[in-house]
A and B are shown apart, each in its own frame.
Chain A
Amino acid sequence: MDIKDIIKPENLVYKKTELMTDNVLSYCPGCGHGTAHRIAMEVIEEMGLTEDTIGVAPVGCSVLAYDFMNIDMQQASHGRAPAVATGIIRTWPDKIVFTYQGDGDLAAIGTAETIHACNRGENIVIIFVNNGIYGMTGGQMAPTTLPNMKSSTSPFGRDVETMGAPLKMTELVALLPGTNFVTRHAVHSPGHVRKAKKALRKAFQNVKDKKGTQLIEIVSNCNSGWKMTPVDSNEWMVENMFPFYPLGDIKVDGKIVKELH
Chain B
Amino acid sequence: MAELKLMKGNEAFGEALIREGVDGYFGYPITPQSEVIEYLMTELTHERTGMVTLQAESEIAAINMVYGAAASGKKSATSSSSPGISLKQEGISYLAGAELPCLMLNVVRGGPGLGTIQPSQADYFQATKGGGHGDYHMYVLAPASVQEMADFVEDGFDIAYKYKTPVMLLSDGVIGQMMEKVMIKEQKPRLTDQEIHEKHGDWATIGRIGGRERNIITSLYLKSDQMEEHNQKLQAKYKKMEEDDCRWEEIQTEDADYIIVAYGSSARISQKTIQLAREKGIKLGVLRPITLFPFPKKPISELANRVKGFLAVEMSAGQLVEDVRLTVNGKVKVEHFGRNGGIIPSPVEVLEAIEKLIKE
Contacts and interface: CB of A to CB of B under 8 A. Distances in A.
A91 B56 CA distance: 14
Contacts of B208: 50-51, 71-72
B66 A87 contact: yes
Interface stretch (B170-178, B209-217, B247-255, B337-345): B209-217
Given A72-B208, A74-B217, A91 B72 contact: yes
A232 to B, nearest CB: 29
A75 B71 CA distance: 10
A52 interface: yes
A86 B65 contact: yes
Interface size class of B (residues with CB under 8 A): 35 or more
A234 to B, nearest CB: 29
Contacts of A66: 214, 216, 218
B350 interface: no
Interface in B121-137: none
A112 B58 contact: yes
B310 interface: no
Nearest to B50: A91
26 contacts: A50-B207, A50-B208, A50-B211, A66-B214, A66-B216, A69-B214, A72-B206, A72-B214, A72-B215, A74-B217, A75-B220, A80-B64, A83-B56, A83-B60, A84-B65, A86-B56, A87-B26, A87-B64, A88-B68, A90-B52, A91-B72, A91-B76, A95-B72, A113-B60, A116-B57, A116-B61
A70 interface: yes
A56 B54 CA distance: 20
B90 interface: yes
Contact of B61 (A75, A92, A96, A113): A113
Given A77-B64, A113-B64, 4 more contacts: A74-B72, A75-B216, A86-B61, A95-B207
Contacts of B71: 74, 84, 87-88
Contacts of A83: 56, 60-62, 64-65, 67-68
A63 interface: yes
A52 B64 contact: no
Contacts, number: 132
Given A75-B218, A83-B56, A112-B61, A91 B74 contact: yes
Max chain B Cβ within 10 angstroms of own Cβ: one of A76, A91, A112, A113: A91
A53 interface: yes
B84 interface: no
Contacts of B91: 77, 80
Nearest to A116: B57
A193 interface: no
B68 A85 contact: yes
What are the nearest 5 A-B pairs in CB distance? A87-B68, A87-B65, A83-B64, A84-B68, A72-B205
A73 interface: yes
Interface residues of A, number: 33
B338 to A, nearest CB: 34
A15 B23 CA distance: 41
Contacts of B58: 112
A178 to B, nearest CB: 13
B329 interface: no
Nearest to A96: B207
A238 interface: no
Interface in B54-97: 54, 56-58, 60-62, 64-72, 74, 76, 90-91, 94
B329 to A, nearest CB: 38
A69 B216 CA distance: 10
Contacts of A90: 24, 52, 54, 65, 69
Interface string A35-60: 00000000000000011111010000
A81 B54 CA distance: 17
B107 interface: no
B219 interface: yes
B184 to A, nearest CB: 24
A55 to B, nearest CB: 8
A87 B57 contact: no
B207 A53 contact: yes
Nearest to B24: A91
Nearest to B216: A66
B98 interface: yes
A102 B295 CA distance: 42
Max chain B Cβ within 10 angstroms of own Cβ: one of A54, A63, A73, A113: A54
Contacts of A76: 64, 67-68, 94
Given A75-B220, A87-B64, A90-B65, A54 B56 contact: no
